[in-house]
Amino acid sequence: MKTIIEPFKIKSVEPIKFTTVAEREEILRQGGYNIFMVPAEDVVIDLLTDSGTSAMSADQWAGIMRGDESYAGARSFYRFQDKVRELTGLKHIIPVHQGRAAERILFAIAGGPGKVVPNNAHFDTTRANIEFSGAQAVDLPTAVGVDPDAMDDFKGNINIPALREFIEKTGAENIPLCMITITNNSGGGQPVSMQNIREAKEVCKEHGIPLFFDACRFAENAYFIKLREPGYADRSVKSIVREMFSHVDGATMSAKKDAIVNIGGFIAINDDELALKARNMLIITEGFPTYGGLAGRDLEAIAIGLEEVLDEHYLQYRIRSTAYLGEKIVAAGVPILQPPGGHAIYINAKKFVPHVPPERFPGQSVTVELYRHGGIRGCEIGSVMFGRRDKEGKFIPAAMELVRLAIPRRVYTQSHIDYVVEAIIEVYRNRDKLPGYRIIEEPPLLRHFTAKFEPIV
């Protein structure tokens, strides 16, 4: 049988509230045409993020009840620690409440003025935490990685020749660590190959620079290696994960993605001195080292989720259902960042609404219309998020104008996705009529969350 089915049955359901186009037009008006201002209840299908939006399993919910809430040395901590160690082989496992807390601690101790941190592509919170420490964050993607139309198996790879050159130019003493984000979220949810990880490690090792993963979507990355990289087809995903982590000296992780939980994260490090400093920071802001800002029950759910995410029926369904959405809309001519990523499809808004120039926010235009027309919430990743003005007030657009449709884990069924496909195709057929937007109010930082817009008609 060819059909890939959801590898789970549904035991508990949440109703979806249906709204009309007229109601959604009013909601948009009231929220200043900013999708972050829309109450979640008024969203039909919510593809804003795959982070913290997963459905936990019956086993995880049972784990929630079993969670040990002791302040120090809780049983749930040891269970969590054992699971993370089993998968990563890393020595010190430090729980935190989410990915950016791991980043803040890591860069508070490893960052600072004069330091530079390379990555295939930094996620925005990683970049913000590096820059907040006074250090500089540098992206080193490959040429195919930044071409939205290029078809390639591992568009998430870090650019090895560029990394070499970067280290020689910057000086190894100024590079506290090198990161690789798996999968590469800012670059379209694209995977990184084992060969690339191995080569990055060799380059870092030559210069005595530790290599770290931003490991949010490590299982999806490992499954892509199994599907696409020669020599891995017959390997278990768990053994691929272990091999991936065998090349790194540490990792930060947001458990809100591939640990299939609603909150949590960790730092994993081999270096004793760095771990000691991290735990000292942790105590000040997150909590005692055996709970780190989480409840015991959260640690229990993470330990279970980290095992469930490696189930190959789950991963097959996960990667296939994202590709399914991509393939269906591509067949109708909708331009997307190719090939489909692991956790999301990224619509190429520059091509979707070519009549809307970057300073009128094409991604915003498509995002608003998807909500207005179908109640679907995506996320603009373009000039609203990354565009800026130089000192003379000249508009500098983002490199790409994208709308990310991120798929929560185990939440929506194929008919939900079919509805999304239909809505996108209808919006695409009507694309000539979509307006551009202007910002009428914006905060000084991270404006995409709270800015207010107005359509230009």
Residues in contact with ligand F0G by CB under 6 A are 49, 51, 98-100, 123, 125-126, 181, 185, 214, 216, 254, 256, 265
Q: C-beta of 446: minimal distance to ligand F0G in Å?
A: 12
Q: C-beta of 398: minimal distance to ligand F0G in Å?
A: 16
**Nearer Cβ to ligand F0G (125/159):** 125
What are residue 405's phi and psi, to 5 degrees?
-110, 95
**Nearer Cβ to ligand F0G (142/181):** 181
Q: C-beta of 368: minimal distance to ligand F0G in Å?
A: 19
Classify residue 136 as exposed, middle or buried by CB count within 10 Å of its CB (0-12, 13-18, 19+).
Answer: middle
Q: C-beta of 259: minimal distance to ligand F0G in Å?
A: 10
**Nearer Cβ to ligand F0G (4/108):** 108
**Nearer Cβ to ligand F0G (33/212):** 212
Residue 216 CA, distance from chain mean position: 7
Query: Nearest to ligand F0G by Cβ — which residue?
Result: 99
Q: Is residue 257 within 8 Å of residue 343, measured between CB atoms?
A: yes
Q: C-beta of 406: minimal distance to ligand F0G in Å?
A: 6
3-class SS of residue 144: helix
Give, in order, the Cα–Cα distances in Å from 92 to each of 16, 71, 131, 278, 354: 42, 19, 25, 10, 50
Q: C-beta of 99: minimal distance to ligand F0G in Å?
A: 2
> Do you find a cis peptide bond into 455, omega within 30 degrees of 0?
no
Q: C-beta of 404: minimal distance to ligand F0G in Å?
A: 8
Classify residue 272 as exposed, middle or buried by CB count within 10 Å of its CB (0-12, 13-18, 19+).
Answer: exposed
Q: C-beta of 171: minimal distance to ligand F0G in Å?
A: 27
Give, in order, the Cα–Cα distances in Å from 329 to each of 88, 111, 205, 237: 37, 42, 43, 29
Give, in order, the Cα–Cα distances in Å from 95 to each of 66, 98, 278, 293: 18, 9, 11, 7
**Nearer Cβ to ligand F0G (159/185):** 185
**Nearer Cβ to ligand F0G (131/422):** 131
**Nearer Cβ to ligand F0G (24/256):** 256
**Nearer Cβ to ligand F0G (378/435):** 378
The rounded distance, in Å, linking the Cα atoms of 246 and 242 is: 6
Residue ranges of the alpha helices (H) in 133-214? Answer: 160-170, 194-206
Q: Is residue 116 within 8 Å of residue 303, measured between CB atoms?
A: no
Tokens 């500098």, located at residue:
396
* Residue 65: CB atoms within 10 Å: 8
